[in-house]
Amino acid sequence: LSCTFPIFFLQLFLEKYGYFSEPGAGTHSPAEFTEALRDFQRVTHLPPSGVLDAPTLHQMALPRCGTDDGDSRAAGAGRGSPARRRRRTAQHGRSCPVAGGRWPKRHLTYRVVNWPPYLPQHEVRLAVRAAFELWSNVSSLLFWEAGDGPADIRLTFFHGDHNDGLNNAFDGPGGALAHAFFPRRGEAHFDSAERWSLHSGKGRNLFIVVAHEVGHTLGLQHSPVKSALMSPYYKKLSKDFVLSWDDILAVQNLYGKPSKGSAIQLPGKVFTHFQDWNTDLYSRDRQQRSLSNYYCHSFFDAITADGDHNLYIFKGSHYWVVSASGNASDPRPLQPRWPGLPAGVDACAWSQLTGKFYFFKGGRCWRYAGSKLEAGFPRKCSALGLPRHPDTALYFQQLRRLVLFKGAKYFVVGEEPLGVEPYYPRSLRDWAGLPPGTAGALTHRDASVYFFRDEQYWKFDQAKLRVVATGKWATQLAWMGCWDANSEQVLF
């Protein structure tokens, strides 16, 4: 049995995802099994041994899209080309792509037929809208939500077998999360048994899965490029997520570039949470006003304050300056101010000791004197003993040192030379009442240290060495510059 089960599982899996030229139980020779397995291993960047080893079994068990892998095993060559798409056959209950697997028009409607009952309807609609805009922002396509009635593309949640053929029956949590049909049968189906979420760190992120399945409804097949959204396996949504070059080339090959302006990498690069969106954020009469203090309507990447008590709030490739009086600037691009700084920083701190800005992203650290990147930077965090992907950075006046927070630990860091002080890291319990995973911190002119995470803030008393207050920063801290946070009906 231990030998038979993997072979049976292997055949079902490879048939479901299109690795055999002809489906059918008992019709595959050992050579066909080996070649199909090699194809799968190539697509998933495993050594193409043709052997069902532990890493291959592990890969097969990971959550993924239920649409078959089609021509992705052909190293992605011509993935968006009509000639290649016409060779796809109608397998496993799927319709054959018509007109080369593309829609004959550029304006498409969509409808969200149903949604998980534990997710608010307006938040689901915003996430779906963002998923469609991810594609319209880099192509000539335009999408419009149809409230009811017919629509070109329909998104529906189902349990188990839902009349798409047995190979397309949903399998409960894990495994196949969703599947979709190619043009012109514009349908995407999602497994109701999954725990769907609109957050970046909990459950299956609905935005990222919808965006992937929408790609299929537009005619895109799976990509062999590991970083691509159209890669078959589920990936978590990070703060700096963008479509890969492969995704963009594939959709532009089918529908062309945007008719006006250049391709833009929004909203995928900006929005990792949807429960904080204003339902009118994109309405034309308020869009410009929303941009001026957009960070108030969404979560930011990092925050710090300088010696004049100006706040610097970072999100994606932009930052805002909020004066001591609470007046926010328009969003400004990072590059002119800090040349060479990447978008989506993990943490930032301004040092009161040296007057320099420190930025952290991934495994690297940047240090700027004014707008000049100092010699030798960026530097590797590991070479300095610093944590990768720190949650928060802070200049702590009592220690005259930088402090980096990562999970349940914190690191005290000297500046000259830059490195972790002895006996660190220590437990976050030293900062009584402070939760792990904060997104930023600053020392306010009232001498308290304020920590931020999502919509919350924590006020830390430096004398008592504990948190003394907490609340919603956009509506309760006037100096954050969110004057219209209440009138805008922010979804906090």
Burial tier of 275 (Cβ tally within 10 Å: 0-12, 13-18, 19+): middle
Q: Are strands 204-205 and 440-443 parallel, antiparallel or unpaired?
A: unpaired
Binned at pLDDT 50, 70 and 90, residue 162 comes out as: confident
By the 8 A CB rule, do 42 and 56 touch? no
Helix pair angle (206-217, 121-136), 10° resolution: 50
Residue 261, pLDDT > 50, answer yes
pLDDT at 91: 32
Stated as kind and residue range, the H or E segment containing 34 is helix 30-43
Question: Per residue in 266-291, pLDDT tens?
Answer: 544 444 444 444 433 344 333 444 44
Domains and CATH numbers, the chain: 1-61 (no CATH), 101-275 (3.40.390.10), 290-480 (2.110.10.10)
Q: Cα(457)–Cα(248) distance, rounded to whole angstroms? A: 38
Q: pTM (2 decimals)?
A: 0.52
Query: At which residue do the structure tokens 């219209």 appear?
Result: 484
Residue 170, pLDDT > 80, answer yes
Compare 149 and 288 and report the one with higher pLDDT: 149
Stated as kind and residue range, the H or E segment containing 211 is helix 206-217
pLDDT at 201: 62
Closest CA to 405 of 423, 384, 429: 429
Q: Is 285 annotated as a binding residue?
A: no
Closest CA to 265 of 247, 279, 285: 247
Question: Per residue in 97-109, pLDDT tens?
Answer: 333 489 999 889 9
pLDDT at 169: 82
| C-beta neighbour count of 90 within 10 angstroms | 10
Residue 78, pLDDT > 50, answer no
Q: Which residues contact 114 (CB under 8 A, 6 or more apart)?
A: 156, 157
Q: Cα(408)–Cα(405) distance, rounded to whole angstroms? A: 8
Binned at pLDDT 50, 70 and 90, residue 67 comes out as: confident
Per-residue pLDDT, averaged over 315-325, amounts to 88
| C-beta neighbour count of 261 within 10 angstroms | 8
Query: At which residue do the structure tokens 């199909």 appear?
Result: 36
Q: Give DSSP secondary structure letters for 322-343.
A: E-TTSPBPPPEEHHHHSTTPPS
Q: Is 222 annotated as a binding residue?
A: yes
Q: Token digits for 143?
A: 């999408």
Cα dihedral 475/481/484/485 (nearest 10):
-30
Residue 403, pLDDT > 90, answer yes
Q: What is the DSSP letter of 469?
A: E
Closest CA to 458 of 472, 444, 445: 472
By the 8 A CB rule, do 215 and 230 touch? yes
Q: Is 162 annotated as a binding residue?
A: yes
Query: At which residue do the structure tokens 């349940």 appear?
Result: 408
19-33, 164-178, 182-196, 401-415, range with the lowest pLDDT: 19-33
Compare 480 and 96 and report the one with higher pLDDT: 480
Compare 460 and 40 and report the one with higher pLDDT: 460
Question: Per residue in 433-483, pLDDT tens?
Answer: 999 999 999 999 989 999 999 889 999 999 999 999 999 998 888 899 886
What is the pLDDT of the chain when averaged over all its residues? 81
Compare 129 and 75 and report the one with higher pLDDT: 129
Compare 89 and 349 and report the one with higher pLDDT: 349
pLDDT at 120: 86
Helices (H), 52-176: 54-60, 82-85, 121-136
For residue 425, the SS3 value is coil
Q: Is 160 annotated as a binding residue?
A: no
pLDDT at 137: 87
Q: Is 194 annotated as a binding residue?
A: yes
Residues tagged active-site:
213
By the 8 A CB rule, do 39 and 32 touch? no
What's the helix, strand, coil split of the chain in %, to 5? 25, 25, 50
pLDDT at 453: 92
Share of the chain above pLDDT 90, in %: 46
Q: Cα(203)–Cα(214) distance, rounded to whole angstroms? A: 20
Compare 418 and 98 and report the one with higher pLDDT: 418
Please report the sign of the dihedral spanned by the C-alpha atoms of residue 380, residue 384, residue 390, residue 395: negative
Residue 22, pLDDT > 80, answer no
By the 8 A CB rule, do 177 and 66 touch? yes
pLDDT at 406: 95
Q: Which of 35-39, 263-267, 332-336, 404-408 tops mean pLDDT?
A: 404-408
Binned at pLDDT 50, 70 and 90, residue 75 comes out as: very low
Q: Is 107 annotated as a binding residue?
A: no
Question: Per residue in 216-242, pLDDT tens?
Answer: 999 999 988 888 999 999 988 776 677
63-67, 91-95, 279-283, 445-449, range with the lowest pLDDT: 91-95
Please report the sign of the dihedral spanned by the C-alpha atoms of residue 220, residue 223, residue 225, residue 231: positive
Q: Is 346 annotated as a binding residue?
A: yes
pLDDT at 275: 44
Q: Is 330 annotated as a binding residue?
A: no
Q: Cα(402)–Cα(408) distance, rounded to whole angstroms? A: 17
> Which residue type occupies 10?
L
Q: Token digits for 106?
A: 């550029």
Q: Cα 245 to the chain's mean position, in Å?
A: 16
Q: Is 393 annotated as a binding residue?
A: yes
Compare 65 and 287 and report the one with higher pLDDT: 65
